[in-house]
Every structure is written in C-alpha cells, then in structure tokens.
Amino acid sequence: MKKILMIVPAILFCLGIMAQEWHADLTDKWEPVPPIVTPGNGTTPPSDAIVLFDGTDMDQWEKPNGEPVGWKLEDGAMTVVKETGAIQSKQSFGDMQLHLEWRAPAEVVGESQDRGNSGVYIQNRYEIQILDCYENPTYVNGQTGSVYKQHIPLVNACRPPGKWQMYDIIYVAPRFKEDGSLFSPGTVTVLHNGVLVQNHVTIQGTTENVGLPLYKAHPLKQPILLQDHSNPVSFRNIWVREL
C-alpha cells in the first residue's frame, strides 16, 4: 500500500505535464506569420512606410484644386506661406498610421488661436489641431492635439516654440452603408511627442469651426490635408503606414 501511495503522486505529476503539453498544442498558432518590418532609426521611417515628405521635394503634395503648392521648401522642411492655401497629399488613405513632425515659429507672434496655428485634416475633413500651446491659453477643445471642437486632449505636451514636435496618429476610417448613412464612425488615437493625448476617441463627424459635426458619406480613401492658417508653421518627416 505504501508503494502505491508513492506511485500515485508521480503518475499525477506526469499526467499534469502531459496535459500542459496537450493544451499547448491546441493553443499554439503558427499561421498566419506576421510580415517583417524593419523599424526606423531616428527620423528614418519603417521599411513599409509610404513617405510623403522627406525634405527633398514637395512632389507628393498639391493644392486641393490640383495646382502646385505655394509653400516654401528650405532646410529639409516645408513651411506655410501665408494665403497660398492648404496643401493635400496626392495619394489617398483610409485606415492608417500617420507620422508627421511640425514646428511653430520661434518668434512668438499673436496669442490663442493666432499663434502657430495649422492643422492636419485626416481624409480631408477631420482635423487634429496644430497650435503653439506652450504657455499660450486657448479654448481647450481647440488646443494642440485636440480633435478640433470634439475632443479635448488628455494633456498638453507642447515643446517651446521653434522646437520640432511629433504627431503619431492611428486612424480607423468611418464606414458608410450603400444608402449613404453611417455604418460605423471613425476613431483616432494621437500621441504628441510620444505622449498619449487622444485615446481611441470617436470622430463625431466633420470638425467644424462653427456648428455641430456631421457625417456625410465619402470614399474610404481620401487625401491628408495640411492647413494654411496664415502662420508660418513648418513640417518635415511625413510618412504613412496603411493598416
């Protein structure tokens, strides 16, 4: 009887190991194998990125009417020239990871919304605000990193004027039914200088300066637009990964 009592725990131990291995075989997955992407180093984009601006030319951009851009290209950056108008990417995008770097002028001119103001419009209609909010109070649903007039940023992560700043934006586009009604709204996550400022928030519709947001059916893929708000804001290192 004593030998039997000694053998039983050993058998149970072996069965436990066999059970773990059996469960592992059932839960391990080997396919599909994720593709290999080489991360960027410094300002170098990931290996699968679509580069929209690398500082050498503005060939990937145009005015919304198709005319050439009127912005200045200098020292690896493109800078808004007052009253030349917004520019948009020639290529259109839907779900994406967007990276861009921007810089408000080092010389502080104006206050609130009249200081280092621009914006990146996803799908040409949903704005993530660009603004010099370093020691510059303004209405909070229009400050840096806001989904304009819709979502207040979680924090203010602005660097001083004249310093380069980063946006990393994860965007899922809205979907529409065949009759044009909304099937699912868009969502966006925004990191400003590596700090989370929008955490998977729901886009409520077009980002209006005055009035309520409204969804109107549009194609899944649309251009990225950069705003001319009459302030000499600069941009560099813009790339997209389609999701």
Q: How confident is the model over 171-203, as pLDDT tens digits?
A: 999 999 999 999 999 999 999 999 999 999 999
Residue 170 lies in a domain: yes
Q: The CATH number of the domain where 125 resides is what?
A: 2.60.120.560
Q: Is residue 27 part of a domain?
A: no
14 belongs to a structural domain: no
In 3D space, the residue among 219, 103, 209 whose CA is nearest the CA of residue 162 turns out to be 103
Q: Is residue 23 part of a domain?
A: no
Per-residue confidence (pLDDT) for residue 17, from 0 to 100: 57
Does the structure show a pLDDT above 80 at 230?
yes
Confidence band for 1, pLDDT divided at 50, 70 and 90: low
Q: How many residues does the chain have?
A: 243
Name residue 196's beta-bridge partners: 191
pTM of the predicted model as reported, rounded to 2 decimal places: 0.88
Domain range holding 155?
Answer: 50-242
78 residue type, one letter? M
Q: What is the mean pLDDT of residues 202-226?
A: 96
Q: Are 87 and 95 in contact (CB under 8 A)?
A: no
Classify residue 31: in a domain, yes or no. no
Using only C-alpha atoms, what is the Rg of the chain?
25
9 vs 218, more confident: 218
**Residue 29 lies inside a defined structural domain of this protein:** no
Distance separating alpha carbons of residues 162 and 38, to the nearest angstrom: 31
In a domain? residue 25: no
- 2 has pLDDT over 60: no
Query: What's the total number of domains in the chain?
Result: 1
Asked whether residue 33 is domain-assigned, the answer is: no
- Position 85 scores a pLDDT of 96
- Quote the pLDDT of residue 178: 96
